[in-house]
Structure formats: C-alpha cells, structure tokens
Amino acid sequence: MSDPVRVLIVDDSLLVRTALEQGLSSVPGISVVGTAADPYQARDMLVRLRPQVMTLDIEMPRMDGLTFLRRLLPQWPIPVIMVSSLTERGADSTLQALAIGAVDFIAKPTASISGSLHAMIGELAEKIRAASTITHLPVEPVCMTKDVRPQSQAASSLLTPALSRRLQAIAPPKLIAIGASTGGTQALHTILSVLPSDMPPIVAVQHMPPAFTTMFAQRLDATCKLRVREARDGDEIANGDVLIAPGGQQMRIIGNGGRLRVRISEDGLVNGHQPSVEPLFVSCVPIARWVTA
C-alpha cells in the first residue's frame, strides 16, 4: 500500500483552512501535514514538513499567491493547486498562476461553505492525486504576442525530422480534437503556440468553470498564430480556428453534408465535469475518418 499524499494548505481564511483540512483528512490516501495563513508560514513549513502538493490561495496579506509562486517554484519545485474565487478577477489571477507554473486550480467554497464543501473535496482530492504524480514542473514560460513571437525552440523539439516525415505521409485530418485536465492549460499553450496558422480546425475541452474559459481563450489567441475563441452553438468549423468548449456546458461535433459544426448544450456533469472530454470524443466517432484526437 502506497504512502498517503502529503498536502500543505495555504489560505488566509481560517474558515477555508479548517474546512479543507477536515475535508481532505477524511479522504483515504491523503494526509494534510500542515496549514499556513500566508506565504511566510508556508515557506517554513515547506522546509520542515516536505509536502508533495500545496494548495494556494491567491489574495493573502503580506504576500499574494502570484508573487509567492514566482519566488518559490524556481527554488522549490512543488505541484501547486490554486484555490480561486469564481470571479473575472479570480479567473485572470488563476490563469496567471497557471502560466507561472501552478498545475491546476479549483473554485473556492462559496459563502454557504457547508453546502459546497462536500462536492469540492472529492474534486480537489482527485486533483491532488494527479498533481502528486507530476515529475516535471514548467516555470514561468515566456508568453509573447503572436506578432513578435520568434520560431520557438519548442517547435523543433516537438517536431523531430522523423516525426515530420511521418506526419507528411498521413492525409491531413479535417478536425483535431483535444481533451485536457490537470496541467492541461500549459500543455495546450505549449502545443498551440508552435502550430502554424493554416492548421486544420481544432476543438478543445479544458475542464474549467464558466468564468474562466472566455479569458483562457483570449489569452491563447494573444499568443498563438491560430485564431482561438470560445465555441458557440452552431459554429461552423474552419481551418485555422481553435474552439474552446465553454465552461458549464458540453461541446459536441456534428457532421452534416460534409460540414462540421459545434453543438453546445447544458446536459449536466459527465464524469464529474462540464465541459467533459467524453461527450466531445464520443460525438467524433461517427466522423472518425476525418478526426485526429
């Protein structure tokens, strides 16, 4: 039997710290080794307690979570899960944290904390387990706008000569479908930022709540040669487009007379997520001869 994942909770709210500690302590395979009210306490606990995963609030006294991340990760690489409010400001700060090197995020419990906590703990536990398996953490990748970005070295490392020859021998797909979860935001950025503007259309599901997906798409659009935006129901898919599934809704692809369109619907959670990767991939089965997933 493997040892439990050691977790450090960092949040300036005593209520949130207590709720997370009690909730996670009841989950088999997870051990909360400490809680900290600010980054200075967290720094000392990291050295003393050696956690494997850290949850981190964004807005804290003395030092905010983003500043702490920038200072911490180059010296002490540890998977960090941001605990964020579901607001536009919270979404922007969370996406900044993911760009700095945080591996994932989760929405902070609402004002009626007892009602939302149970649903949150299961999701957070899943993210903690996934984060504990990460062995390489990206630190503050350089984000440049599409008009000034040079040819990335990442492109040459992703597309080796052997892989390029294999890809050239394959008929190009009419559609590329991507699904991403923990760590997926940075993976999507890494992939999309090196692709040319004449790619076949791409549809992507990233597990995110509604307040986040629009801003996530805008950030990708600013740094990629491809046109990136949040998908809308009925969108026709065109070359050079990247459509991101909107938060709180499911995205599917439908084929009609050789044309591909997006279908957006509120069907509820699938495997605990909305949007979920599964509805997208299942919808691609009837048009599989056109799709790379």
Domain with CATH 3.40.50.180 in the chain: 153-292
pLDDT at 114: 55
Each residue's pLDDT tens digit, 124-148: 999 999 999 987 766 554 444 454 3
Number of alpha carbons in the 13 Å side-chain half-sphere of residue 288 = 4
Residue 224 has pLDDT above 90, yes or no: yes
Domain with CATH 3.40.50.2300 in the chain: 5-132
pLDDT at 164: 60
Residue 282 has pLDDT above 90, yes or no: yes
Backbone angles phi and psi of 267, in degrees to 5: -100, -5
- Helices 184-192/88-100 angle, 10° precision: 70
Range of lowest pLDDT (75-79, 92-96, 137-141): 137-141
Mean pLDDT of the chain: 85
Query: What is the β-pairing status of strands 30-36 and 259-265?
Result: unpaired
Burial class (CB in 10 A: 0-12, 13-18, 19+), 269: exposed
Please state, in angstroms and rounded to a whole number, the distance separating the CA atoms of residues 105 and 124. 9
Q: In CATH, which superfamily holds the domain spanning 153-292?
A: Methylesterase CheB, C-terminal domain (3.40.50.180)
Average pLDDT of the residues in 204-224:
91
| pTM, 2 dp | 0.78
Please state, in angstroms and rounded to a whole number, the distance separating the CA atoms of residues 81 and 132. 11
Residue 236 has pLDDT above 70, yes or no: yes
Each residue's pLDDT tens digit, 237-260: 899 999 999 999 999 999 877 788
8 A C-beta contact, residue 189 and residue 226:
no
Number of alpha carbons in the 13 Å side-chain half-sphere of residue 95 = 22
Each residue's pLDDT tens digit, 146-194: 543 444 444 445 556 776 666 555 555 689 999 987 668 888 988 999 9
Residue 98 has pLDDT above 60, yes or no: yes
Q: According to the CATH classification, is domain 5-132 in 3.30.930.10?
A: no
8 A C-beta contact, residue 244 and residue 204:
yes
Please state, in angstroms and rounded to a whole number, the distance separating the CA atoms of residues 101 and 186. 8
Q: What is the DSSP letter of 47?
A: H
Which conformational region is residue 189 in: left (phi greater than 0), alpha (psi within -120 to 50 degrees), or beta?
alpha
Backbone angles phi and psi of 13, in degrees to 5: -90, 120
Give the residue among 225, 199, 234, 204 at the shortest CA–CA distance from 216. 204
Q: How many residues does the chain have?
A: 293
**Beta bridge partner(s), residue 56:** 10, 82
pLDDT at 50: 97
Each residue's pLDDT tens digit, 16-73: 999 999 999 999 999 999 999 999 999 999 999 999 999 999 999 889 999 999 999 9
8 A C-beta contact, residue 241 and residue 277:
no
Residue 277 has pLDDT above 80, yes or no: yes
